[in-house]
Chains A and B, each alone.
Chain A
Amino acid sequence: MLILENIKAYQAYMGITNAQIARDLGIQPMAVSRFLNGDNPKYDDLMKYSKYFGVDLAFFDNDNFDPSVMLGKNEMEDRETIFYSGSLSSHDPEVLETVESIVELFKHLNLLIMDHGMRL
């Protein structure tokens, strides 16, 4: 599958191992391997991996994919930033849930704007 091939290419380009992804996402290395080598990934998993790498999912859905295009000097820092966004357990869970939902809403709107010409 094109998206998965591109995710793997990006992972290799960034020098990130399956074990590292598993550790950061709190899942088993086998689950990472199953996802990357599967042929029918769930949309939520695709979103999770694109979030992990700090890019929009649309970035990977590209016939002429070039991993170097997205690499900037803050790339690694960005990835960390996104990862830590998931571990703010000290705050009010209801508020956090609301924020997570709104961020999710923004991401879907962004996808519709960027890929489907939605006007807002």
Chain B
Amino acid sequence: MNFEKVKEILELNRQVYDDVEKKYKLDLFESDYMIDIQFIESALKADENVHLLNLPLKNESVGAVACTIGFKHFILLNTNISRGERNYHLAHDYYHIKHEHSNEVRTLICEIRDKSGEVAVDYSNPHKNRTEKMASLYASMVLLPDKYLKKSYESICKYHPDDLKARVCEIMNLKMVPFTLVVIRLRELGLIDEDEFRTLLLADQAMLENTFDKYGINKDCIELADESNYKMLEERLIEVATRESGEVADYSINKIIKIISLTFDIDLGDDNE
């Protein structure tokens, strides 16, 4: 990843660090309540106003799209990205949905994040920029809490005293998070110095995979998320089409099928043509 871009993320994180730390102390530090990705996923799934879709997008540069329409929140997670990246996007959206006490419930808010989790396009108003920074930092702190990271990094250093990349891979595997997130958090907490930070950012995907293989570390976090909800979506559309008849419902169902065939990496088969 681009060094300057990561430096910028560190700077943006610094701007809201105190705010996030103070406001969400319970989520981040209290051991009885400390939340993790399993908690986040369950909480989102349990919320009837949140609709979470896992689908493979043809465009692999899009990590996730979140959109609020009225009181309903829609999150689309691209399953053509790694599990680690997916978890980061999910934690980010959890912040928006559970912690933003916005009075803009009627606004159509939409944003797009690239694979690194940075907001590439923000459809909402400029006042939300600080919120975006907070959501990004919250996600990284929830997935890799300060105390946890310090403690586990200390132990991992003993196992891999000479291999910096191996330490990062171990943490990626332990918490199912993406590489850049671990590197940023380690630098943020002063656990690696500037030179180590630069060295790590030179690592590419092949180098990382080699490190996972070399030490036999589980590679689930860098494998594709690959948990498509398409079958469920198809079943629900058929259910509505069978039960409801009317131009608007038919129009919407046809539109959805057309969008899926054009935008997603899904084989619809002849029946849906």
Contact = CB atoms under 8 A, between A and B. Distances in A.
A114 B240 CA distance: 12
Interface residues of B, number: 46
Interface in B43-73: 51, 53, 57-59, 61-62, 65, 67, 69-70, 72
B248 A95 contact: no
B108 interface: yes
A111 interface: yes
B207 to A, nearest CB: 27
Interface stretch (A4-12, A14-22, A28-36, A76-84): A76-84
A102 B76 CA distance: 8
A118 B239 contact: yes
Given A80-B125, A85-B123, 20 more contacts: A54-B108, A55-B106, A82-B107, A95-B120, A95-B121, A99-B62, A99-B65, A99-B112, A101-B262, A101-B263, A102-B259, A104-B259, A105-B256, A108-B252, A109-B252, A110-B72, A111-B252, A112-B237, A116-B243, A116-B249
Contacts of A92: 61
B76 A81 contact: no
A106 B74 contact: yes
Contacts of A94: 59
A77 B120 CA distance: 22
Interface of B: 51, 53, 57-59, 61-62, 65, 67, 69-70, 72, 74, 76, 103-104, 106-110, 112, 120-121, 123-125, 233, 236-237, 239-240, 243-244, 247-249, 251-253, 255-256, 259-260, 262-263
B62 A109 contact: no
B44 to A, nearest CB: 12
